[in-house]
Structure 1
């Protein structure tokens, strides 16, 4: 059967019917087609539909780009290559990881290019700081990268290095988190704050409870993470099992971080 015949339908498309309704010049909201009625779609009663739409749009677009696996890079929005408060020595130190994240993403994206951008595509939260560095590293080597942005009052607008066709926007944190982990084969957590911790611990919980398959979780910046989280204390207290730490690795530079990923998957 020809492509033309396969794409034909006996029914008018939604776009065609929408144009007909617009030509009718009926102003009453009740006459609007439901899928083109913003006021209707934003009602509390339609939350389930909006959740579904936020899942489907990025999912279908990634399918169209034939993206089969991703590598997640988390990290602080405030740790940029040019920190505003240069008198804060800790901020300066942690901002040095901007360059590490950029170099790491270059390495991962070169691997992704070898797989025709179908595997190991870098995905970030789409904002500034470490997220920008990772998207920038992918752009440096001519590769694709994904940005999963979310509407926030501060610190969140798409950085300019995300592949435009793969720059998404979310209202719901929960759906955004699902997209981070749907295809991932590895997670790199750089120094960060509440958002980074939230995403890291959600991933650890899902691996521990076997809600997602095991994957390498690489904490970049060993001193930072060991000062922040005492995982051994949790083991000593009986709160977690020692084997729950098997997926956690530490690295301080891009080369070591990349080696952990490739060794884990025998690449």
Structure 2
């Protein structure tokens, strides 16, 4: 008796099957040949006219992978790539002191002071991962995938056995992903705009530590989208009131009419990981959230 035909069998071979099966004739196997399937032809895909296709791929790949990994809700951690862990900052200060370089000592002392934010980011990521892991919809830490505060976020999740996401960007100077990102959730982007879109697509909160131009870009784009109603409002927590109020005069923006009274309520200042978690827990009722059955 013949084997029954599977009703769900494909009617056509998949693109993957055909890509693997095609062997170009010798005459058309050279690099100058156009015989290759279009979707396997890297030279074709990298042409300027194919930019819309490449942008669509950068939208779809992280979206599809995160769906497959069950990532539905994230807390995004922004912050400087230049803030080191405390032990690194202490070592730099010791080296500068030994060398007798007064300017280097001042810089190293500032790094020691700022390193507290690395430790708070690390602890906050651990809190988010640990306290949400048994919820019906766990919350995953998402960072820009680099060093500094980004590393601290991925590290905090990794150290307690949790998954975390890294959205790296190709830069003129080499940026390696930090070693604490879950490998299947470590992405690389060419387009800043697509990367920032993915920061917001699944986020239930944005947590912003001290940083420079990149951090400010990410923070203000998110606040602009919320202020203008282009995306739903969600908690924006800014670590370090002293840093942020020295950097940005929010009162001046209100006094001069550059923002409306009430726009300053788009964000809140926090100082510690526990304080930040308490804000999220209160806003979302996380302490009362349904957990998965044991």
> Which TM-score bucket, shorter chain as reference?
over 0.9
Q: Deviations over 1:39-74 (max 9, x none)?
A: 000000000000000000000011111211110000
Contact in 1 for aligned 2:149/2:209 (Cα 8 Å): yes
Establish whether residue 105 from structure 1 lines up as the match of residue 109 from structure 2: no
**In the alignment, what sits opposite 1:53?**
57
Match of 1:71 among 66, 72, 75: 75
**In the alignment, what sits opposite 2:16?**
15
In terms of mean alpha carbon deviation, does 71-80 or 87-96 score higher?
Answer: 87-96
Q: 1:165 to 1:112 in 2, by over 3 A?
A: farther
Task: Determine the C-alpha separation between the residues in 2 that align with 1:111 and 1:22.
Answer: 53
2:142 match: secondary structure: strand
**In the alignment, what sits opposite 2:114?**
94
| Superposition map of 1:172-211 within 5 A | 172-211=191-230
Contact in 1 for aligned 2:79/2:208 (Cα 8 Å): yes
Match of 1:32 among 33, 36, 41: 36
What is the Cα deviation at residue 197 of structure 1? 0.4
Contact in 2 for aligned 1:77/1:155 (Cα 8 Å): no
2:282 match: secondary structure: helix
Larger Rg: 2
Task: Determine the C-alpha separation between the residues in 1 that align with 2:7 and 2:187.
Answer: 33
Establish whether residue 248 from structure 1 lines up as the match of residue 267 from structure 2: yes
1:127 match: secondary structure: coil
1:218 match: secondary structure: strand
Establish whether residue 238 from structure 1 lines up as the match of residue 257 from structure 2: yes
Name structure 2 gaps, 5 residues minimum: 1-5, 94-104, 287-294
Task: Determine the C-alpha separation between the residues in 2 that align with 1:247 and 1:215.
Answer: 8
What is the Cα deviation at residue 154 of structure 1? 3.1
What is the Cα deviation at residue 104 of structure 1? 0.4
What is the Cα deviation at residue 111 of structure 1? 2.6
Q: Deviations over 1:147-183 (max 9, x none)?
A: 0001113362111100111000000000000000001
Following superposition, which runs of at least 4 residues in structure 1 exceed 6 angstroms of deviation? none
Task: Determine the C-alpha separation between the residues in 2 that align with 1:109 and 1:56.
Answer: 25
Match of 2:173 among 145, 154, 157: 154
1:154 match: secondary structure: coil
Q: Deviations over 1:196-232 (max 9, x none)?
A: 0000000000000111100110000111111111111
1:66 match: secondary structure: coil
In terms of mean alpha carbon deviation, does 69-78 or 84-93 score higher?
Answer: 84-93
Give me the CA root mean square deviation.
1.5
TM-score scaled by structure 1? 0.94
Match of 1:123 among 142, 153, 165: 142
Contact in 1 for aligned 2:84/2:115 (Cα 8 Å): yes
In terms of mean alpha carbon deviation, does 204-213 or 252-261 score higher?
Answer: 252-261
Task: Determine the C-alpha separation between the residues in 2 that align with 1:240 and 1:230.
Answer: 12
**In the alignment, what sits opposite 2:186?**
167
User: What is the number of equivalent residue pairs in this alignment?
Assistant: 262
